[in-house]
Structure 1
Amino acid sequence: MSAFYHFHWTRDEHADCLVLMTTLADFVQHDFMEIVDQDLISGNPYPEALIVIVPADAAQEMKSALTGMMGSEALLRLPNDTAIVLATFDERGKIVVSDVLQGELTLGSEDFTAIVRAGTLYLVKSREAVLEAPPGHHFVHPKRKHSRAFFRTANALIQGEEIGFLALVLLPYLGEADEKVWVDSSSIAALVYAAYALKGRLTKKITCIQIQSFLSYEGVDRLQVQDPSKELVLISATASGSLPEIVARKTRLPEDRIITLFSTSKQPSGTVVFDARETIRGLEPLMLETFDATQCPWCRDGSRLITFVGDQFLADAAVVLPYTIVETAASPALRAIMQKYRAHKAFSLRLHRERPGHGLFVDLQYTLLAENNRAAIRKMVQRNIPASTSHILPTEGKDSEQLAAIVADEIEALGLPRPEILSSSSTGVATKDRRGVVIVAATIGSGQSFQDASRDLRTPFKNLPRTYFAGVNKHSLAEYQGTLLKDLEHNNREHKHIFCVVDAMTLPHENQFSSWEKELTFWRKVKADLPERYKTSKVVSFIERRIRILLRDIVENDFFLTNTAELQLELRPSFAFWDSAYDTKTIKQGDVFATIASILESRRKPSKAKSSPDLAQSPFHLTILSSENFTRFNDGIIQASLLRAAFPHELSYAHTTTANHSAKIGHLILKMLERHAENQGEAVLEFLVALATRQMTLATVDLERIVSFPKNKLPKLLAAVLPYVLEDEPYAETADSETEVPA
């Protein structure tokens, strides 16, 4: 929560104005500084103007504080030519310029109207006040009307500064002698109190207001207006405009006393504070319309109902659907990149520095940076690097520095002057005249390295051409990528900056795979709990060796557990998701895991061809990996990749609706235990550990079947692990009296 509500407003003369608004009488410097600093870090070089809107009784303190901050770059990090305007509002919500503290910027009443509208629109969109049902679903209202979307004002009333902003918006519509306000929903009561409290403070009059909810359509009969001059009706939102009309007929109130906060109606009645039709431009025309059940077009199409009552949602039973991976799940782009990267030790699992778990790392030494792959980099340089480039800044890492040197070579090969390569620790030091800069990163995940570089280059390179050049983008379909791209390309009124990538993959955005961390905890537990009957040198040696592997970066063929002969899982010929033949001896486990992880992540994201992803998840729609995936792909290395790359909820088969899949997987594991020494059972240890760590869950009846497998037919390691499938503490307070099992 902050003391200031902030947003951006644009007009032709000033393309990018940062607006901060508060209803507080006191100045909170920390919140002010944090907003301005974070706005700079967001990717914009800087706003062309800063507009601060405060209540009239805070104007003097704000002016004094801003004047003091302008003298210190540490307090207000804005260029000296950035216009800074202080504006104030009175008890009627009228906004006027109080002082222009720096630069030049003229604002009139029309500008402030546009500013308020921009702030309201930003609030509605950022808080997702328009709720849209997920694919294959639609809403049923308390009055049994159906719609695919609706406007929920309560979503825009979450933080205090947002309520304060809307209180300012509401001020012009309040009467001078109001004593009672009728609201259609109690969710907007806080806004009414805030608006009258603000008005009372500015007029220095104590305002006692009574607020009563009439519960929308079903409670219109409760409306009993006694004195129209002292009562008004405030409606949160309307899509059809019918509720204000009903209220008008019932109360005989004049139009200016029936106020609707948000309206998406084409023909609204009464007084509308904000015409919200702009917020629904991207929706289908029928989305916000309501229909009787017998006339509902979505019911006719087989759409499922989501019931909600008042401000609370009562979710219907979720549908659980299985998904089977097919050969076409691997896109041509993925096949092409894997043909380039496989068999070159490109993929490893690196421990995160700041949080538990491993992230998939892409090593470019023998792939993109190899001499035989220069053509791809050369093509990107020719197509995207401006001739004005005078400097190159590599982000941290040897791969980035090597890629930066290659880019410099290719620019020089075009007959252009060789750019000067800067140091990431001294971006402001340059010997050549600055004309343009290329920021080079070997791989990007979140894009933080590019955003940090953008911030460092803001002062020395100002608005000069800036090109962001990445070798591999690991999260090309992540939701944040669109925002990242806009931030990096943004250049105020100048031409956009350039963002280009040589190779792109699709991996989970957080790039955090927890399976190995959970496995480490499991083996430590097994080692501590291991009964004497299983504590052979062979079993202990296996556990200790695996713990050592999990405590470091995981490379080559240490991704997965071995088979019972302690041989590493290997890929056999004809992998469905790769093109052309390959030498199975050169393929590493990381190659297969990266392929499966990329396929699964791409199935979680919507595509142009299919709005609902194959692995879609919502409160009303769940998808699991079908048990068929583990029978179709019978290579142990592929099965292990699926177990490790999937999310636990995608491997959750304990529900009654997935009982058939649980039974099939249970049967598969029993067959693996039976044939653990053959190819069919090579991944049995991976399955047992997945169940023991709850990466995969099965129905209790199937877990009991697995655990009941005769331990005397198993190697001691499998026999020791097997009870953990069903119990967390299988060896707690148990007698060590089981029949000895052979090694």
Structure 2
Amino acid sequence: MFITSYINSKQQNCCIIFTTQQVNIDIDTPIKDYLSENINPEIAYIIFNSEISNVDKSVFDRFNSSTVKVFITYSLNGDFQFENTVDAIKEKVIIEQIKEQVLKGIFLKHDSILKASSESYFVVASRKFATHFVRIANLFKNSNEISIISILLLPYITNNIDYIYCDTPTIFSLIYSSLLYKLKENKDYKIPEIRFYSSSDLKSEDFDKTKNSIYIISTSINGTLPTRIVEFGIDWSNIIVLFSFDEIKKPRYKYLFKDKRNELIDQSFYSLPKEEFEKKYPHKIFPIKFEDQQFIPTQPMVSKFLLAKEDAPDFVNLFHSNYGKYNIISCFNDLNAIGNKRDLFFDITKLLDGENYFTNKLHKQVINKLPSTKLIFIYIDNENSKALSDYIIRKSKRNIINKSISEFENDKTLDENGKYNFYVISSCISNGKKVSKCSMLLRKFKDANINFISGFVRCNDKIILRNIKANLTYGEYSFSTYSFYAIEEIYLPNEDSSSLSWEGEKKLIEEVLNDQYSQLNIDRSLPLIKYLKKRINVLNGNGLINELYLPSIKLKSFELNKNFAFFKDTEWLPKDINQSQVYFTILSVLHNYRLIKGVKQTLYERYILDPENFIRFNDSIIRATFLRCCTKEELNYDLDFKASEKMLNIILGLVNDLSKGDNIIYEFLLAICLNRVNLDVIHLKVLHSKLIASKYSSDYILKFYLQYINEKIISC
């Protein structure tokens, strides 16, 4: 069973449920999982075949009663039809949209687009050089999804076909599945012979043109392969492309899916002959080659990246100068939409007492433009959003109805034809889930003026923010029907509490306190237990501001030294900069670098933080921040022996001077314990032996980490 969702042309939230299984269908669990992570859809399209699937329709009552449930059946020749047909023409359009969204959903689910790094490129089967590569094999891992694609392919596999030619054996399972459906429909169906040809060495003799054949191409990036096949005398109508990314709007060949709006491959994609590519990208010097028709790459390329002053996004310095003194940032605090702690929390209530940059913008953009009548504020269900709503009401001196989303949802007194001025207030938006819910509730007010106000908008990139704005402001007059105001826009990685260093640290401490490592013979001395209990109390508190990092071996907390590379302003003292602000700054710089340089970890290419960063930025607090806010993949020095050796030497520099007041050896050892930093095992053993031999080896904290590393990291 496959579930995906999309927004249709009427801006309705639609869910598609497509099942192909014949027996033992568990529908309830996938729907329950879907609803736990998504807003209840306005329309649910349930697709099945009544002849082979025994579907209990009552299962779909798990959706909200407001969800319109539409049942669509498909035949074993690939035809789809509404179970209760009303308007066949409109329904045909919807079915085509559903097919497109299903194929798009399967493609996106398996992350089938690989993007080369700033210094590398792909050498594809056609011998062209490319910035991207489509890993079509990723799509054929799940039997149900293979069945779905094969059902969508059925209309193209007509009767009386002698041969089916394929450009890669990777899609054999798809063709085989389609033929099984043909046999199920007609036991006398004559199964055609499946043949494969090489797209990199295409010859006319590869094809028997005396027979009735179809030619299936897995992907077409620029139309080269279909054109070459036609040059051998094959008719365009016999060519079927599974996933087409050609720029031609209406190609002459048939296709299952066409990326018409560059939704899957962005506009930075190029596939060019060698000479043209080298001219356009003179700095891309590392090829990623594919060894055979299965597109299995060689060993992954490892690229090291080094941060520089210019990698800081503009909002970092603006944030420091406008908000630095208000201490509004804390880490590992509050809960996000899925119930996990946020990596960064912005407490805007600290800005709502007096005049400052934030309140001035709020007055200019919102308060001074409020209409005079029929004002209704709806705030997101949290304290900070309510505080922002209360502040606007207080300063506007207007007569305003103020409700939470929960209160508004249960309010039946408002006239749906009333001309209200609605303002949806949120202190911070990251994924827009709660605001989108409110947007759905407001759709029934046809003549209302709807505005969305957010203090801080935190998104992964501008594209995601643009999509959130588009979804919220779309209405009768397209994307400008409603208004969206953000006082500040910040671009940071997606929140994922499970990958945060503090989450891993907390789990490790809890396991030690619960004596889960008794078999490791870890010395659970009283001082260690007291130390760990104190630390976990900090992690369980109301956010981290100046206790983000473990203290030095002298139990000293880290401060930022003057002349910080990423702050233009120099009028500050180290004691004025909280650790949380340093974390925010470095995380912003890292994220900006990843976006600008197109950093993406794949099986084919890896990026690691150049060890030189720990030398260039040698403040202890910055080093500790790298260990906390870089991803595990970026600190995986096991991929590069020389990088691992360099990291060893950097850490040994700390070992040689453990008495230094701001020594961060604890942070390095914790990062190794949490598998955030990986060194080559040879280097790890050298580090372990050096620390065991040091005069501080009896330090109970150091001893604990060394015991853990020896038993759980080195020995494993």
What TM-score range do you get, normalising by the shorter chain? 0.7 to 0.9
2:435 matched to 1:450? yes
Task: Map residues 193-212 of structure 1 onto 2, 5 A cutoff.
Answer: 193-199=176-182, 206-212=188-194
Residue 333 of structure 2 contacts residue 345 of structure 2 at CA under 8 Å; is this kept in 1?
no
CA separation of 1:546 and 1:478: change in aligned 2, threshold 3 A:
farther
**How many angstroms does 1:95 deviate by?**
7.0
1:380 to 365, 371, 377: 365
Aligned pairs, number = 695
Which residue in the other structure is 2:614 paired with? Answer: 630
2:695 matched to 1:686? no
1:497 to 461, 471, 482: 482
Please give the alpha-carbon distance, in whole angstroms, between the structure 1 residues aligned to 2:687 and 2:144.
58
2:533 matched to 1:548? no
Residue 586 of structure 2 contacts residue 625 of structure 2 at CA under 8 Å; is this kept in 1?
yes
2:559 matched to 1:559? no
2:390 matched to 1:405? yes
Task: Map residues 21-60 of structure 1 onto 2, 5 A cutoff.
Answer: 46=42
CA separation of 1:385 and 1:501: change in aligned 2, threshold 3 A:
farther
1:647 to 625, 628, 631: 631
Please give the alpha-carbon distance, in whole angstroms, between the structure 2 residues aligned to 1:253 and 1:8.
39
Residue 138 of structure 1 contacts residue 148 of structure 1 at CA under 8 Å; is this kept in 2?
yes
**How many angstroms does 1:206 deviate by?**
3.8
Amino acid at match of 2:387: Q
CA separation of 1:307 and 1:451: change in aligned 2, threshold 3 A:
same
CA separation of 1:368 and 1:475: change in aligned 2, threshold 3 A:
farther
1:138 to 121, 138, 141: 121
**How many angstroms does 1:665 deviate by?**
1.0
- Say which SS state the counterpart of residue 351 (structure 2) adopts: coil
Between 106-115 and 567-576, report the one with greater CA deviation: 106-115
Amino acid at match of 1:213: R
Residue 360 of structure 1 contacts residue 511 of structure 1 at CA under 8 Å; is this kept in 2?
no
- Say which SS state the counterpart of residue 348 (structure 2) adopts: coil
**How many angstroms does 1:334 deviate by?**
1.9
CA separation of 1:556 and 1:300: change in aligned 2, threshold 3 A:
closer
- Say which SS state the counterpart of residue 334 (structure 1) adopts: helix
**How many angstroms does 1:307 deviate by?**
1.6
Residue 557 of structure 1 contacts residue 589 of structure 1 at CA under 8 Å; is this kept in 2?
yes
CA separation of 1:256 and 1:343: change in aligned 2, threshold 3 A:
closer
CA separation of 1:727 and 1:357: change in aligned 2, threshold 3 A:
farther
2:581 matched to 1:591? yes
**How many angstroms does 1:620 deviate by?**
4.7
- Residue by residue, what CA displacement relative to the aligned partner does 1:562-587 show, whole Å, maximum 9, x if unpaired? 34443433344444434252354454
- Say which SS state the counterpart of residue 313 (structure 1) adopts: coil
- Say which SS state the counterpart of residue 287 (structure 2) adopts: strand
Task: Map residues 109-120 of structure 1 onto 2, 5 A cutoff.
Answer: 111=93, 115=97
Please give the alpha-carbon distance, in whole angstroms, between the structure 2 residues aligned to 1:450 and 1:135.
37
Which residue in the other structure is 2:592 paired with? Answer: 602
- Residue by residue, what CA displacement relative to the aligned partner does 1:649-687 show, whole Å, maximum 9, x if unpaired? 3334443131563254134313431x42x4xx4434334
2:344 matched to 1:360? yes
- Residue by residue, what CA displacement relative to the aligned partner does 1:57-80 show, whole Å, maximum 9, x if unpaired? 899x99xx99x999x99676357x
**How many angstroms does 1:438 deviate by?**
1.5
Residue 515 of structure 1 contacts residue 644 of structure 1 at CA under 8 Å; is this kept in 2?
yes
Between 254-263 and 554-563, report the one with greater CA deviation: 254-263
Please give the alpha-carbon distance, in whole angstroms, between the structure 1 residues aligned to 2:312 and 2:119.
26
Please give the alpha-carbon distance, in whole angstroms, between the structure 2 residues aligned to 1:288 and 1:477.
25
Please give the alpha-carbon distance, in whole angstroms, between the structure 2 residues aligned to 1:219 and 1:54.
40
Residue 173 of structure 1 contacts residue 256 of structure 1 at CA under 8 Å; is this kept in 2?
no
CA separation of 1:193 and 1:374: change in aligned 2, threshold 3 A:
same
Which residue in the other structure is 1:672 paired with? Answer: 657
Between 293-302 and 212-221, report the one with greater CA deviation: 293-302
Amino acid at match of 1:184: D
Residue 478 of structure 1 contacts residue 508 of structure 1 at CA under 8 Å; is this kept in 2?
no
Between 261-270 and 688-697, report the one with greater CA deviation: 261-270
Between 144-153 and 388-397, report the one with greater CA deviation: 144-153
**How many angstroms does 1:729 deviate by?**
6.5
Please give the alpha-carbon distance, in whole angstroms, between the structure 2 residues aligned to 1:532 and 1:159.
44
1:488 to 448, 452, 472: 472
Please give the alpha-carbon distance, in whole angstroms, between the structure 2 residues aligned to 1:188 and 1:638.
49
**How many angstroms does 1:377 deviate by?**
1.7
- Residue by residue, what CA displacement relative to the aligned partner does 1:464-507 show, whole Å, maximum 9, x if unpaired? 33322222223353874444333333336665433322223344
**How many angstroms does 1:630 deviate by?**
3.5
Please give the alpha-carbon distance, in whole angstroms, between the structure 1 residues aligned to 2:74 and 2:711.
63
Amino acid at match of 2:438: A
Residue 473 of structure 2 contacts residue 484 of structure 2 at CA under 8 Å; is this kept in 1?
yes
1:337 to 305, 309, 319: 319
Q: Aligned residues: percent identity? A: 18
Between 355-364 and 390-399, report the one with greater CA deviation: 355-364
**How many angstroms does 1:314 deviate by?**
1.0
Could you say which structure has the larger radius of gyration? 1
Please give the alpha-carbon distance, in whole angstroms, between the structure 1 residues aligned to 2:391 and 2:408.
21
2:505 matched to 1:519? yes
2:677 to 696, 701, 709: 696
Task: Map residues 160-559 of structure 1 onto 2, 5 A cutoff.
Answer: 167=150, 170-178=153-161, 180-199=163-182, 206-217=188-199, 218=201, 223=206, 225=208, 228-229=211-212, 231-238=213-220, 257=238, 259=240, 261=242, 264=246, 272-273=254-255, 276=258, 278=260, 287-289=270-272, 291=273, 297=279, 302-308=284-290, 309-326=292-309, 328-350=310-332, 359-368=343-352, 370=354, 372=356, 373-382=358-367, 390-410=375-395, 412-413=396-397, 417-422=399-404, 424-429=406-411, 434=418, 435-455=420-440, 457-458=441-442, 461=445, 464-475=448-459, 477=461, 480-491=464-475, 495-512=480-497, 514-520=500-506, 541-559=530-548
2:695 to 712, 720, 728: 712
Please give the alpha-carbon distance, in whole angstroms, between the structure 2 residues aligned to 1:662 and 1:236.
44
**How many angstroms does 1:396 deviate by?**
2.0
Please give the alpha-carbon distance, in whole angstroms, between the structure 1 residues aligned to 2:206 and 2:452.
61
**How many angstroms does 1:404 deviate by?**
0.6
Residue 691 of structure 1 contacts residue 725 of structure 1 at CA under 8 Å; is this kept in 2?
no
CA separation of 1:479 and 1:649: change in aligned 2, threshold 3 A:
farther
Please give the alpha-carbon distance, in whole angstroms, between the structure 2 residues aligned to 1:69 and 1:46.
17
Please give the alpha-carbon distance, in whole angstroms, between the structure 2 residues aligned to 1:196 and 1:232.
13
**How many angstroms does 1:381 deviate by?**
0.6
Which residues of structure 1 form unaligned runs of 5+? 607-611, 733-743
Please give the alpha-carbon distance, in whole angstroms, between the structure 2 residues aligned to 1:542 and 1:16.
54
Q: Normalized against structure 1, the TM-score is what?
A: 0.74
Q: RMSD of aligned C-alpha atoms?
A: 5.3
1:77 to 66, 81, 103: 66
- Say which SS state the counterpart of residue 708 (structure 1) adopts: helix
**How many angstroms does 1:403 deviate by?**
0.7
Please give the alpha-carbon distance, in whole angstroms, between the structure 1 residues aligned to 2:483 and 2:374.
12
Which residue in the other structure is 1:577 paired with? Answer: 566
